[in-house]
Chains A and B, each alone.
Chain A
Amino acid sequence: MKILCAVKRVVDYNVKIRVKTDQSGVETSNVKFSMNPFDEIAVEEAVRCKEAGAATEIVVVSVGPAQAQETLRTALAMGADRAILVQTDVETQPLAVAKVLKALVEKEAPGMVILGKQAIDDDCNQTGQMLAALLGWGQGTFASKVVAGDGKVAVTREIDGGLETVELKLPAVVTADLRLNEPRYASLPNIMKAKKKPLETVTPDALGVDVTPRLTTVKVAEPAKRQAGIKVPDVATLVDKLKNEARVI
């Protein structure tokens, strides 16, 4: 079975982001970017499937600017076989990405698509579900365990009250939660090898997909700041403040 994995280049999770003063967005120049953490988990899962003999080839895809090539090289260094960059400079919204992925799925015919459950920049948590809908496939979202069998896959999902296991007919779409696995670090030899792996670049137009954003961002603002608090010297003062000042207990 071939596995298709989607990865996104996002502002690194450790960066304290700054909102632009004109409220048009978030400052992204001179900021560290890296692979969306949930996507690293998706790639790791695909690589483990291949190591376990359940997958034969891993194709990684990213939709975004030319720099997303670096993100794809990272995935190749982790163990993916080849990469496709769908290059565009417009803001990539989930529905557009899902349509691009659908076009690629029709071309590549994978048995499973693995994505991260959400990107840490837009926090949408939509693309995997949308892709499954467009393809008419089953979806195993927020996966913490994936067991691929013959013609089906069992996915254990993280839900609000605990865990739930569903069985999906293959082909299917799976989105990775943080607890699915611990992604590996790419070793230097693997990073060198990844430079020689094939990376194809296409445009959304060539795939016949319109990626024009459907939602207009009117503005991006800083959230309300919390008032600086005080430090209390001991537990007795804390109890007193909570009872008499904040009146919450």
Chain B
Amino acid sequence: MANILVIAEHDGASLKPATLNAVTAASKIGGDIHVLVAGKGAQAAAEAAAKVAGVAKVLLADDAAYEHQLPEDVAPLVVSIAKGGYGHVLAGATSVGKNLLPRVAALLDVAAISDITAVVSADTFERPIYAGNAIATVQSADPVKVVTVRTTAFETAAAEGGSAAVEQVAGAGAAGLSSFVSAELTKSERPELTAARVVVSGGRGMQSGDNFPMLEALADKLGAAVGASRAAVDAGFVPNDYQVGQTGKIVAPELYIAVGISGAIQHLAGMKDSKVIVAINKDEEAPIFQVADYGLVADLFKAVPELTEKLG
């Protein structure tokens, strides 16, 4: 059976959780799992990858050219490794994975399969289409399957227990097509949105960004991450990386509390796999109530502070 190459997402020191979800998806395909860590000074991330349960080998490409993991530079590296006998190339369907893998697939002249939610067999996968309103089962006849993995659809692999060897690999380095200029990251003390056990999201009903601290207070009580609908992002209440939905982040927490969110198709695409959904909305006709396990028709400006208080 051919080996599986998982592309690690990391910050040099540690792995992003999405990589662990991708390893789990890889384990369902069957075959030796190798993890590629491309970066600059990424020895620590490679060592972390070597400890992940189920990983047989870690390939470390340490080069200044891979510092910001620009796809123009990393894709040729992945392609040259993949050609050495891999049947699958996997990555988490994060902004990094979505940016890189289609470029890899095109260079290999194979189709890419985006955002899989289940592995049916080594060549057949399930993936949502039409904003999650249909599930397509697709089969690939290509020699290499290039696949991004919906992180919320697979458990995270255990970060300890493995003892893979770390092997250095060399790539062609910088392609000279692009360069990193700057990054502006949102800082938050709260858990990461896509990995949080509880998510509290606000929509247009919040009326203003000034009212979001009310949700943050509730989130803090629950140890939750704060999300938002597109309406709240477009109105400037919160930064765009808070957005949950078809075009934002896909979350599947144990508890999702939607506050002042009507529940448009595009928003539901990002959260309807949550275990328990609570909706707080004053419009009892709002579509969100059709997917909510518990609905409260009430003015959020009264209900949210009361809820925060009662949880204390």
Contact A239:B183 (CB < 8 A) given known A229-B293, A248-B254:
no
Q: How many A-B residue pairs have CB under 8 A?
A: 251
A249 near B294 with CB under 8 A, answer no
A161 near B186 with CB under 8 A, answer yes
Q: How far is the CA of A168 from the CA of B296 in the complex (A)?
A: 49
Q: How far is the CA of A169 from the CA of B115 in the complex (A)?
A: 30
Chain A nearest CB, measured from B294 CB (Å): 6
List, in ascending order, chain B residues with CB within 8 A of A130's CB. 102-103, 105-106, 112
**Interface membership of A105, Cβ < 8 A:** no
B230, B247, B297, B311: most-surrounded residue (chain A CB, <10 A): B247
- In this complex, how many residues of chain B approach chain A with their Cβ under 8 Å: the count is 90
Determine which of B139, B272, B294 lies in contact with A242 in the assembled complex, contact meaning CB atoms within 8 Å: B294
Within 8 A of A (CB), among B176-201: 176-186, 194, 198
Interface of B is mostly: mixed
Determine which of B99, B103, B306 lies in contact with A142 in the assembled complex, contact meaning CB atoms within 8 Å: B99
Interface of A is mostly: mixed
Q: How far is the CA of A130 from the CA of B183 in the complex (A)?
A: 24
| Interface residue ranges, A against B (CB under 8 Å) | 11, 13-14, 16-17, 19, 26, 93-95, 98, 117-118, 120-134, 136-142, 144, 154, 157-169, 172, 177-179, 214-223, 226-232, 234-236, 238-239, 241-242, 246, 248-249
**30 residue pairs from A and B, CB less than 8 Å apart:** A13-B265, A17-B130, A26-B134, A94-B102, A94-B112, A95-B110, A123-B115, A123-B129, A123-B131, A124-B114, A125-B98, A129-B100, A129-B106, A133-B105, A142-B98, A157-B95, A161-B183, A161-B185, A162-B186, A164-B180, A165-B180, A165-B181, A166-B70, A215-B138, A220-B135, A229-B293, A231-B294, A231-B297, A232-B295, A249-B198
| Interface residue ranges, B against A (CB under 8 Å) | 68, 70-72, 75, 94-96, 98-107, 109-115, 124, 127-142, 176-186, 194, 198, 222, 230, 233-234, 239-241, 246-247, 249, 254-255, 265-266, 272, 275-278, 284, 289-298, 303, 306-307, 310-311
